[in-house]
Structure 1
C-alpha cells in the first residue's frame, strides 16, 4: 500500500499570505499531509502565526531541521510569475532526493528533466512529480461538454491570484451538504495537488487548452450533478487572458462565479491596466460566453484578506448592492450563500430541461 504523503514544504524566503500560494493551499486543505514548512525568514513560528490558519504546523530554518518531522516528500511551495525554479533552492532539492524524498513541483520548470535531479532520484528511488507536465493525447475542443447532463460552474476573476481555486474548494462542501453530487475540476498545479487529479491548463500548448478543459469537465461530470471548474487568469489580463478564454470555451460553463478583491484597482504587476467595475466585468464575461452558451454570472466571491472585519462587511454589502447578486468572502465568512446560488441555478436548469425534454412514456 502506498504511503500517505507527508510534505516538507519548501518556501524559503517566501512563506506568507501572498507569496506562497501552493504552500498555503496545501496547509489549508490537506493539513494532515504537512510535516513542516522550510523558511528561515519565519522559522520558529507556526503556520497559524504566519498565515492566520494552519494550526501548529512548524516553520523550520533548514532541511535538516525539517527532517526531524519525518517527511517523505518535498513540496515546492511557491507559484511565482513564469513558474521558474529558484536556483538557490537546488541544493535543498538535491538533499531531499539523496534522502529518498519524493519531490512534488508545480513549476513550469520540469524538475524531472533536470539531469542532476533525475540521476539522484534514480539512485535513491525517489519520484519527481511535475504537476504542470502536459499530458499526452490531448485533443482540440469540439464542444463535447454540451452533451453532459451535469451543471458546470466556472470561477472567473477580475485578476489572477485572486481566489478562484479557493472559492470553489470552499463552496464544494456546502454544495454537497445541500444534497448534490459535486466534483471539483482542477486546472492548476495547486488544485491538482489538493484534488489528486487534473490538468494544469497554463502549461498546455495553446491550441489544446480548451481541449484540456473540455476533457477535465467531461471526466468530472461523469460522477456528479454539479461540476465546479477552477478558473485561471482574467479575461482582461495582458499575460494570462489566453488561458482564461481557452478554459471558458472548453469547459462551456452553464454559469459563472466572479471572484474579486475589493482593494485591488489594477492588474497585479500591471498597474497600467485598470480593473473595470464589477458590473462591467460581468458584462465582459457574459458577452464572451454568449456565442457558445449563455452563461450568467450568478454570484460574487470576494477576497477581503487585507481588510478588517468592518471594511470587509461593508465591501460585501456594497458589491451585493451594485450587482444584485449573492456575495460573500467564502473564506472569511460562511460560503453557503454562493453554494445556495449554485444549487438553485442547478435545480432550475434541471427543471427547465425536463420541461423541454420530458421522459419518454413507458408502455
Structure 2
C-alpha cells in the first residue's frame, strides 16, 4: 500500500453508511490501523458511528467533506462498495474537493481514479496521492495447484452469499490464534482487507485466467513462517454474479479446511429472488467442488447476526448446530473460540 498508514482518514459513505453497501467503511472502523476523524453521510441523523455500528463513539458523522476540514483529515477513504464498483457521478465533485483541500484518496472501487484525467490532474496539481487499491499487479501466474504442497493448515472462508462476514471471520480468527500460540496470518483478497492489512490482491479485479494464480501467489509468498493460513473468501458459489471469484479462491488457495459464513435472517441471495438452500446442502456443495484436487471439509459455521439481539443469535446458533452438527458462533458477538477449536482439532 502506498498511502501513509498514519494518515488521518475521513471516510466517505454518502447516503450508504449502515445500509448494506458500506462494508469498507465498517471494516476500517472495526479493524483499520489509521485514526478515523469522521464519516461523511448527510443522511444520518445519529451523532456518531456507535449509534449505528455499536462501536466508534469517538467518530462523528458529518454532512459534508467541508464540514470535516476542521478535524484535519489528510486522506479520504471511499467507504462504499456499490454493485459493479463504478463511480457514481454525484461523487466526483466531492472527491475533487478532497484533493483540492489536501487529502489523498484511498479508492476501493473498480473504477481506477488514477486513469481518469480530471482526477489525475487534480492530484498532480495539489501534490496528492490517489491509491487505487483494487489495481492488480502485473505478471500474475496461471494457477497450478501449487498451494496444495504448502505444509501449513490453510483455512478458507466461504459463504452462503456475498457480504456475510467472510473477512471478519478470518480477522477474528487470526487475532485469537496468534494470542494462543499459533503462527497465523490473514490473507486479504478484497479491497477492504487490503486497506486493513496493508497487502493483498483484490481477486475480483484480476483477469479470469489469472484469478486462481493470484490466490496461489498470495499463499506461496506468505506461508513461510506460519502454520495457519487464513484466506479471506469472496462472493459465493450460489451467487450468479460473484461465483467465479469464489471458485478461483478455492482452486488457488487449496484449502485444507473451510468455514461456512451465513446471515441467518437472509432468505434470498443478495440482489436476486434465489432462495438460499439449507446450510448442509451448501457445505456439501463446497466440499464437492474441492475434489478431486485436494479434499477439504467444512468444519465450522460463522454467523453474521448483526441484526439480531444476543438472545436471538444464541437461539440461531443452537438451531444451526443441531441441524448441521458443526460448531457455530457469531465471531463478533461471542468470539471465535469455537471455530479456532475446530481448526486446531482438524489440524
Would you say 1:201 and 2:203 are equivalent positions?
A: yes
Instruction: Determine the C-alpha separation between the residues in 2 that align with 1:40 and 1:2.
Output: 27
Residues 149-196 of structure 1: CA deviation (Å, up to 9, x unaligned) = 211100000000111111111121111122111110000000101011
Gaps of 5+ in 2: none
Work out the CA distance in 2 between the residues paired with 1:2 and 1:246: 31
Name the counterpart of 1:322: 323
Deviating beyond 3 angstroms after TM superposition, the runs of 4 or more aligned structure 1 residues are: none
Q: Contact 2:39/2:60 (CA < 8 Å) preserved in 1?
A: yes
SS in 2 for 1:331: helix
> Which residue does 1:309 correspond to in 2?
310
Query: Is the 2:329–2:338 Cα contact (8 Å) retained in structure 1?
Result: yes
1:70-219 alignment to 2 at 5 Å? 70-219=72-221
CA apart distance, 1:40: 0.9
Q: Residue 274 of structure 1: SS of its match in structure 2? A: coil
Which residue of the partner structure matches residue 226 of structure 2?
Answer: 224
Aligned-pair CA distance for 1:321: 1.0
Give 3-state SS (helix, strand or coil) of 2:246's partner: helix
Given that 1:44 and 1:60 are in contact with CA atoms closer than 8 Å, whether structure 2 keeps it comes out as: no
Unaligned runs of at least 5 residues, structure 1: 347-363
Match for residue 68 of structure 2 among 61, 66, 69? 66
Distance 1:173 1:345 in 2: 19
Measured in 2, the distance between the counterparts of 1:33 and 1:27 equals: 9
Equivalent pairs, count = 345
Task: Note the alpha carbon deviations across 1:122-149, whole angstroms, 9 max, x for none.
Answer: 1111110011111101010011112222
What TM-score do the two structures reach when normalised by structure 1?
A: 0.92
Change (3 A) 1:134 1:313: same
Distance in 2, matches of 1:242 and 1:62, equals: 37
SS in 2 for 1:202: helix
Structure 1 or 2, whichever has the larger Rg, is 1
Q: CA deviation at 1:44?
A: 5.8
- Indicate conservation of the 8 Å contact 1:178/1:343, yes or no: no
Secondary structure of 2:331's counterpart equals coil
Secondary structure of the residue aligned to 1:266 is coil
Counterparts of 1:10-49 in structure 2, within 5 Å, are: 10-16=12-18, 18-30=20-32, 32-42=34-44, 45-49=47-51
Q: Over residues 307-349 of structure 1, what are the superposed CA-to-partner deviations in whole Å (9 max), with x where a residue is unaligned?
A: 2222211100011111111110001112111112112222xxx
Cα distance in 2 for residues equivalent to 1:171 and 1:5 = 27
SS at match of 1:332: helix
The two structures have a TM-score, normalised by structure 2, of 0.96
The residue aligned with 2:263 is: 261
Residues of 2 paired with 1:115 and 1:236: CA distance? 38
CA RMSD of aligned residues (A): 1.4
For 1:216 and 1:130, the matched residues in 2 are separated by 19
